[in-house]
Homo-oligomer: A and B are copies of this chain.
Amino acid sequence: MSPRTSRRSPFMIAAFILAVLCCSPRANGADTLHSWNSGPTKFAVIHFVRDVTTEGGPGFVPPAGRIAVFSHDGTLCPEQPVPAELAFLMDRIKMLASKHPRWMTKEPFKSALSRNMKALAASGTRGILELTAAAHSDMTAEEFETTVTNWLAKTRNPKLNRPYNQCGLLPMLELLDFLHSSGFKTYIVYRGDAEFLRPWAEKSYGVPPEQVIGSSVKMKLEVHKGVPSLVRRPEFDVLEDGPGRPGAIYRVTGRRPIAAFGNSDGDIEMMQWTAAGEGRHLVLLVHHTNGGNEFAYDRKAMFGRLDRGLDIARKNGWTIADMTKDWNRFFPKTGQ
């Protein structure tokens, strides 16, 4: 071996290690999506990610354009028997009721206190906003965060017997991991109060607070205990389901997503808008078909109704994840 070759060799090894480490660590979906059964749905996901991450390929999308949006309730986690935030809201109303004796006879408080879901659903957005105004405001942003965190620590989804922030659907968590390791920026699109989800979105889903797009309360800077703080006011800017979603997403992201994941009629427009973008895209609908492992519902559900969306998805050839056919595990071990 000549001295020259011998000097080169450490650099070649270094260069090789660097090449391996510096290249975007494009995960192989087969290594990540363990809870997905082999079949056309899993194939569609892997195929899409491979196409948009293959440099020089016809479907390549630079990392800045790899925007994926996920609906929350029913897509990333169960929304039955009631969505997490509604459970929180009812608990808060119950806790505050002793200071508001009139609530016992006044709607929608009366229905919230008696957990009359049908009457609550009938009170519509206006009813829910009235409850939220009473339960979510007149405290600082930091106090609200603490309130949410404390509630999560002592509450569980009654059927699944898991803390609400450990109810993420395992196949969707794997999908998030796969997208993150493939250079995607993922956003959660949430009809509820963004500040309810933000304290736990990063730990539960790997999505940082600034990537949670949701409804919001008006916040006003006030001097609170001597410190200028944001105080939550009982006024809302509601992220409407349906046609309002694409605008709300664009307002935050400034780009049209290339992947959208939803599960209900409220997600249709977000998915149509994503599907209409130029270039490669993935639009995937989660269909709750497994009452044994999770919940089974669609066209007649009180929360997360999927009726028109199912027809539109089938007509347009969108990818449908049928929980029973496509998934083999539903939740990670608790405590993970």
Contact = CB atoms under 8 A, between A and B. Distances in A.
Interface string A245-269: 0110011111110000000000001
Contacts of A96: none
Given A9-B10, A227-B276, A276-B228, A251 B219 contact: yes
Interface residues of A, number: 46
Given A219-B250, A250-B219, A209 B17 contact: no
- Within the oligomer, what is the number of copies of this chain? 2
Interface in A193-222: 194-195, 198, 202, 208-210, 212, 216, 218-221
A209 B21 contact: no
A202 B12 CA distance: 36
A133 interface: no
Given A10-B10, A276-B228, A251 B194 contact: yes
A254 B195 contact: yes
A272 B10 contact: no
B246 A219 contact: yes
Contacts of A18: 14, 17-18, 21
A13 interface: yes
23 contacts: A9-B10, A10-B12, A13-B13, A14-B14, A18-B21, A21-B22, A64-B202, A185-B210, A194-B251, A209-B254, A209-B255, A210-B254, A219-B247, A219-B250, A219-B251, A220-B243, A221-B269, A221-B272, A228-B272, A230-B250, A230-B256, A230-B273, A252-B252
Interface of A: 9-14, 17-18, 21-22, 64, 141, 185, 194-195, 198, 202, 208-210, 212, 216, 218-221, 227-230, 237, 243, 246-247, 250-256, 269, 272-273, 275-276
